[in-house]
């Protein structure tokens, strides 16, 4: 593999953009949540303050090696998805390292961070970590079903598994988007997105936090900073994934920001309206309407 300094530079720049955009979206989310609950909420720059503070704290504890590596896996997972995902489709600058692997790589690389984080939290020894992880894994199994159906439907439709090619095939106007050409896949995918983005009603995974203890309390200071960075990046790239799949991708950063914002806030708005599912409810929910939509999407292109 030839070392390409220009590509690395653009990629790092993209990462910076995505990180900041993610932090800003976080602030928006919390602001909206506060306003819905008739509170004032945080200032828009609060995430940067938090991040800066966390990275600056110099008193840290660790439960062991795996505990220490957990956040690293987590952030690597987020950054990795970013690396293998084309951001802006025009030109070659913002395709990152998507030439190394296709959609399947992105699908499976999601697990890298999850698994590493789960292991790290596991070594923390806190029972609530394990409870949260077991719920998260359970829920994730069925979220993937409609999502995979949607992706397969797209792969048949566009005859490719390359995300960049899928985006290219949607260029040429609104009418070429998968949303329009493959509405069932889009519907299934966007319902699955509610699960992957992890807001209510599918946030039982993080519920142990609300009893104000649990993994995030174990992971404090620098570790928390790493996790927050990852959260910001991951939210954007997850949204970017759906954007690329269903909404024609982005040809410039403005388009990127608008689309990811809308996709992300689709889940935030749903979360504001709907109460939380119990775990067995959320597990089975994805096997009902989203599954049927996904099946229809595949059947349409068989």
Identify residues 116-135 at the interface with another protein (CB under 8 A): 118-119, 122-131, 133-135
Find the binding residues for another protein in span 19-48 (CB under 8 A).
none
Cβ-based nearer residue to another protein, 84 or 264: 84
* Candidate residues 9, 13, 100, 210; the one interacting with another protein per rule CB under 8 A: 100
Neighbours of 218 (CB within 10 A): 22
Taking the least distance from each CB to another protein, the nearer of 76 and 200 is 76
DSSP tag of 98: G
One DSSP character per residue, 194-221 reads HHHHT-TTS-GGGGGGTTT-SHHHHS-H
Q: Decide whether 29 or 85 has the Cβ nearer to another protein.
A: 85
Q: How far apart are CA 191 and CA 60, in angstroms?
A: 39
- Which pair of structure tokens corresponds to residue 300? 């349409």
Residues 140-199 touching another protein, rule: CB under 8 A, are 140-142, 144-145, 148-149, 152, 155-156, 159-162
Residue 284 vs residues 81, 267, 277, 287: alpha-carbon distances, Å: 27, 19, 10, 5
- Measured CA to CA, the distance from residue 33 to residue 237 in angstroms comes to 22
Structure token pair of residue 46: 């609060």
CB distance 113 to 28 below 8 Å? no
Footprint (CB under 8 A) of another protein, residues 72-91: 72-73, 75-76, 79-80, 83-84
Nearer to another protein, 223 or 264 (CB): 223
Out of 22, 26, 102, 271, the residue judged to bind another protein by CB under 8 A: 102
Interface with another protein (CB under 8 A), residue from 190, 226, 236, 240? 226
* Choices 188-196, 212-220, 235-243, 266-274 (CB under 8 A): range interacting with another protein: 212-220
Task: Answer yes or no whether residue 104 interacts with another protein by CB under 8 A.
Answer: yes
């Amino acid at each position: 593999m030839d070392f390409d300094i220009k590509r690395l530079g653009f990629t790092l720049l993209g990462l910076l953009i995505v990180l900041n955009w993610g932090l800003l979206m976080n602030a928006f989310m919390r602001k909206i949540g506060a306003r819905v609950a008739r509170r004032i909420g945080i200032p828009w720059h609060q995430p940067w303050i938090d991040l800066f503070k966390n990275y600056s704290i110099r008193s840290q504890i660790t439960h062991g090696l795996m505990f220490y590596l957990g956040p690293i896996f987590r952030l690597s997972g987020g950054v990795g998805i970013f690396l293998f995902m084309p951001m802006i489709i025009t030109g070659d600058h913002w395709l990152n390292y998507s030439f190394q692997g296709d959609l399947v790589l992105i699908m499976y690389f999601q697990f890298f961070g999850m698994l590493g984080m789960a292991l790290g939290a596991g070594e923390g020894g806190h029972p609530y970590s394990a409870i949260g992880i077991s719920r998260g894994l359970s829920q994730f199994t069925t979220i993937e079903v409609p999502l995979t159906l949607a992706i397969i439907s797209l792969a048949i439709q566009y005859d490719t598994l390359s995300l960049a090619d899928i985006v290219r095939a949607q260029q040429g106007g609104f009418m070429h988007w998968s949303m329009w050409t493959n509405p069932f896949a889009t519907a299934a995918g966007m319902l699955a997105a509610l699960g992957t983005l992890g807001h209510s009603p599918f946030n039982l995974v993080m519920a142990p936090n609300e009893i104000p203890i649990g993994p995030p309390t174990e992971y404090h200071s620098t570790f928390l900073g790493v996790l927050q960075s990852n959260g910001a990046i991951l939210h954007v790239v997850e949204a970017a994934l759906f954007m690329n799949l269903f909404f024609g991708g982005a040809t410039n950063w403005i388009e990127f920001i608008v689309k990811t914002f809308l996709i992300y806030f689709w889940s935030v708005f749903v979360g504001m309206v709907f109460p939380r599912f119990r775990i067995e409810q959320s597990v089975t929910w994805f096997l009902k309407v989203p599954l049927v939509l996904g099946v229809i999407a595949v059947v349409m292109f068989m």
